[in-house]
């Protein structure tokens, strides 16, 4: 589907990067299934080499080069009327990867334990938190929302994901926005909390102003504003932290 019109693809020439298609009146559209992995280069150093003066800033947030890799798994055929998945098709395409810049903060174990104690989905909260932090970046930095992307995690996947809130430059090579975000990342967390608590949208679903992101790989489905909680910081000053929870959209679509 492109600009509301449906097309049927008849062939795909990967070597020449040409897809042949024609306009067709279809009762479904397709939704790609892919995994995007962000490998932060140098994230495992216990003591990082000093890269610049910015490393002296009092923030646990880190700005690092990263490698973004998209792995295509296939696609869903989704009914235009009901949004139900009609068919799931597997296919293999070459992986697409590029180098970029990421800014991220590790999620403390105490926060994870608190979420699990409340019988809430930690991964879903981690995913939703990255969305809302992304949405407050333009309040502090002159940029377009499409310059950055959040790390989108499907809570239903059982494979390993690092416990962090991460944004990365969407453009190969990095556009420099992540580097600007790093010194103010903790302030953005507070701004994100304020946005969540002040936004008047419904608790179920959030809205593009607070929780939803156009860059989301999971299509923002089933998002739920539920819970905000407390306290403290890694940087020495007392900073409120937040968590937000999101139900998996795929679960609703089954």
Instruction: Considering only residues 97 through 156, tell me which ones interact with Zn ion, judged by CB under 5 A.
Output: 152
Binder of Zn ion out of 210, 224, 241, 244 (CB under 5 A): 210
The interface region with Zn ion, picked from 67-75, 159-167, 174-182, 204-212 by CB under 5 A, is: 204-212
Binder of Zn ion out of 180, 199, 226, 232 (CB under 5 A): 199
CB of 207 to Zn ion, least distance (A): 3
Could you tell me which of 218, 24, 39, 253 has the C-alpha nearest to residue 130?
A: 218
Instruction: Give CA 14 to chain center in angstroms.
Output: 28
Binding mask 232-251 for Zn ion (x = CB under 5 A): --------------------
Tokens at 71, concatenated: 């792995």
Element (H, E) at 28: strand 28-40
Judge contact between 63 and 102, C-beta under 8 A. Answer: yes
Judge contact between 197 and 183, C-beta under 8 A. Answer: no
- Rounded CA gap, 179 and 167, in Å? 11
* Strand partners for 203: none
Give SS3 for 154: coil
The interface region with Zn ion, picked from 37-45, 164-172, 199-207, 239-247 by CB under 5 A, is: 199-207
Pick between residue 26 and residue 201 the one whose CB is nearest to Zn ion.
201
User: Residue 230: is it exposed, middle or buried by C-beta count within 10 angstroms (0-12/13-18/19+)?
Assistant: exposed
- Residue that has been written with the tokens 């489905």 in this structure: 221
Pick between residue 177 and residue 211 the one whose CB is nearest to Zn ion.
211
Does residue 201 touch Zn ion according to CB under 5 A? Answer: yes
CB of 24 to Zn ion, least distance (A): 30
Pick between residue 167 and residue 210 the one whose CB is nearest to Zn ion.
210
The interface region with Zn ion, picked from 12-20, 22-30, 62-70, 206-214 by CB under 5 A, is: 206-214
Pick between residue 63 and residue 249 the one whose CB is nearest to Zn ion.
249
Interface with Zn ion (CB under 5 A): 152, 199, 201, 206-207, 209-210, 216, 218
């Amino acid at each position: 589907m492109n600009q509301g019109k449906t097309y049927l693809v008849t062939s795909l020439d990967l070597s020449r990067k040409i897809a042949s298609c024609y306009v067709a009146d279809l009762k479904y559209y397709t939704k790609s299934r892919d995994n995007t992995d962000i490998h932060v280069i140098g994230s495992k150093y216990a003591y990082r080499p000093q890269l610049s003066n910015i490393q002296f800033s009092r923030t646990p947030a880190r700005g690092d080069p990263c490698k973004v890799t998209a792995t295509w798994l296939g696609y869903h055929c989704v009914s235009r009327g009901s949004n139900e998945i009609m068919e799931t098709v597997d296919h293999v395409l070459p992986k697409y990867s590029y180098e970029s810049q990421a800014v991220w903060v590790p999620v403390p174990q105490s926060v994870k334990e608190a979420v699990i104690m409340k019988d809430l989905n930690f991964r879903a909260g981690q995913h939703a938190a990255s969305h809302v932090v992304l949405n407050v970046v333009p309040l502090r930095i002159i940029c377009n929302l499409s310059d950055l992307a959040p790390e989108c995690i499907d809570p239903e996947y059982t494979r390993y994901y690092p416990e962090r809130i991460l944004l990365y430059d969407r453009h190969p090579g990095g556009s420099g926005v992540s580097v600007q975000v790093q010194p103010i990342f903790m302030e953005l967390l507070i701004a994100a909390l304020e946005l969540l608590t002040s936004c008047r949208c419904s608790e179920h679903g959030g809205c593009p102003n607070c929780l939803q992101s156009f860059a989301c790989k999971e299509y923002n489905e089933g998002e739920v504003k539920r819970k905000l909680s407390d306290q403290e910081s890694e940087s020495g000053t007392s900073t409120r932290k937040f968590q937000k929870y999101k139900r998996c959209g795929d679960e609703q679509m089954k």
